[in-house]
Structure 1
């Protein structure tokens, strides 16, 4: 049967505009004018017999048909790009835009950047920090380190990091409070709280003294701030143990009790489903899971999903 293939320039213009969420951004990428992108998209819509975008003042959005079409042709164009570069020996140099919590960036990713740069020298990471939600709609991000493992429509969520939580403090704070011997004693101390996910009630329940959990204490917008407060001797932090394992092993923080809260997923790799074959995303994903495998060899309770070994 004869293939039914649309004009390639029109296909390329549509994919760029849909992926970037903007005719102007697509025009910049393809080195043409926005009106040329609009013309090519209309040619494609005429060929297909239906609109791919709904157009409004200052904005264009994919229709349902456009979303379905992008989900199928996006990976195909990525494969063509990767195969062409493989044949020509032209390693694709480019930028991979990441977003994650400040804590993950500082405590996990940045110490490992030299290894990433040696393995993937053709990729320049652009790293920004922030809190959820996981949102790719403005086209400004390629990968998000997703908090937890909650599903997001149209997004691949791959859990890769889990941890228990346990109370930690600075050595100076511990030395100044020898009376701190049982979990219930924490009720009389400064407990550092996380605004995003305060887990003190869960930890006191795990210690079989739920009624002793106080409700007071300074609240921080993210974990990096509460860790800084713990390091300075301000009080006791309920830390994700695996993220601070180096500080604990190095003696900068002291684990006060052996009691830990239940293991929970705290980080997942997230990227748009239609970009699953994107070469730079695949390279970053492969590197990240290999690093997690290395971590798993020396640490407890680090989540290793089945996808990590594939």
Structure 2
């Protein structure tokens, strides 16, 4: 009885696809054209869906339709559900033997540190396919089709386990022309120049000045959402950015960026691999976790690299 009752509220994908298409396009005609059906067929599917769920989803006005309040809310959830089903089918087709790992990455870490190394992992694990998606902040694994994520910050992610990867050091970096133009020699000199900020680390400059015993009142400047764009702005002479040294090795070697002052500082945050505990035994994730811990340790992670920390709290 429980199974039958649940199936009552599980409409067929054809009904849901018709509803989503009408909700998105705004007309039965456009939806019918997209689905290669007749208008009357689409209208019948919408009516059948409304009868099944027992709620009116559209307001019909002459030749047009518009979503009800309930229909609009339903459409948002159905669209996401259909997207996830489509992605799951695509992943299955791309890797019919299984072994797909959906990984959320921090953009600059992913492109500059992880991507150049992924070939080694894939060569050692030929049955695994990795899909990368950018995420700038923590999210609820229960609501996202992600198996694991690269996390920077403190060892806390509600509902997840964390494997320590590495720490980082940052340096105030700018173009050599900018440093010479402003005659920057000591840490206090940076109070008088344009500073570039990362919006996910809004207090980084304050921590740097405090750590170098430089008194300050307010620290202002341009905001960026990624290290890559901040590094490019610093290279272009727009200011000084606090950048992780391991992410700007190429710019430093070429001389595009230089240390405005030689004062590296270890960040209070650390890099971790986060994943939901119910995926901890998933073979592709286990292989990736072991591999990335070794890679991070080889690149300067501390002796405790790989320590698994629990942060099992329900997200409210």
What's the TM-score, normalizing by structure 2? 0.62
Q: Which residue of 1 aligns with 2:99?
A: 94
Displacement of 1:159: 2.0
Is 1:174 the counterpart of 2:173 in the alignment?
A: no
The equivalent position to 1:127 in structure 2, one of 125, 128, 132, is 132
**In the alignment, what sits opposite 1:265?**
269
Query: Which blocks of at least 5 consecutive residues in structure 2 are unaligned?
Result: 4-9, 14-73, 78-95, 309-316
* CA–CA separation in structure 2 for the residues paired with 1:270 and 1:232: 35
Deviation at 1:174, TM superposition (A): 2.8
For residues 131-185 of structure 1, give each alpha carbon's deviation from its aligned partner in whole angstroms, at most 9, with x where no partner exists: 11232112410111122233234311122121122201123323434x1111111
How far apart are residue 200 of structure 1 and its match? Answer: 0.5
Larger Rg over CA atoms: 2
1:112 aligned to which of 106, 111, 117: 117
Q: 2:239 aligns with which of 227, 235, 238?
A: 235
Deviation string, structure 1 residues 11-31 (Cα, Å, up to 9, x no partner): xxxxxxxxxxx9999xxxxxx
The one-character-per-residue Cα deviations of 1:171-224 (angstroms, maximum 9, x if unpaired) are 3323434x111111111211001111130011111111132x642211112322
1:162 aligns with 2:167: yes
Question: Which of residues 184, 200, 208 in structure 2 aligns to 1:203?
Answer: 208
Runs of 4+ in structure 1 off by over 3 angstroms are: 22-25
Equivalent position SS for 1:121: coil
Q: Is the Cα contact below 8 Å between 1:159 and 1:303 reproduced in 2?
A: no
- 1:150, 1:236 → 2: CA distance? 29
**Counterpart position of 2:221:** 217
8 Å contact from structure 1 (residues 192, 218) kept in 2: yes
**Offset of 1:245 from its aligned partner?**
3.4
The alpha carbon displacement at 1:308 in A equals: 5.7
8 A Cα contact 1:161 1:304, kept in partner: no
Shift of 1:275: 1.5
**Deviations 1:51-94 (CA, angstroms, capped at 9, x unpaired):** xxxxxx999xxxxxxxxxxxxxxxxxxxxxxxxxxxxxxx9543
Partner of residue 140, structure 1:
145
**Within the alignment, does 1:285 sit opposite 2:283 as a pair?**
no
1:184 to 183, 188, 196: 188
State the superposition RMSD in angstroms.
2.8
Q: Distance in 2 between matches of 1:264 and 1:304?
A: 17
Equivalent pairs, count: 220
In structure 2, what is the equivalent of residue 73 of structure 1? none
Paired residue for 2:248?
A: 244
- Structure 2 partner of 1:305: 304
The TM-score normalised by the length of structure 1 is: 0.63
Counterpart residue number, 1:103: 108
- Checking the alignment, whether the CA contact within 8 Å between 2:187 and 2:212 is kept in structure 1 is yes
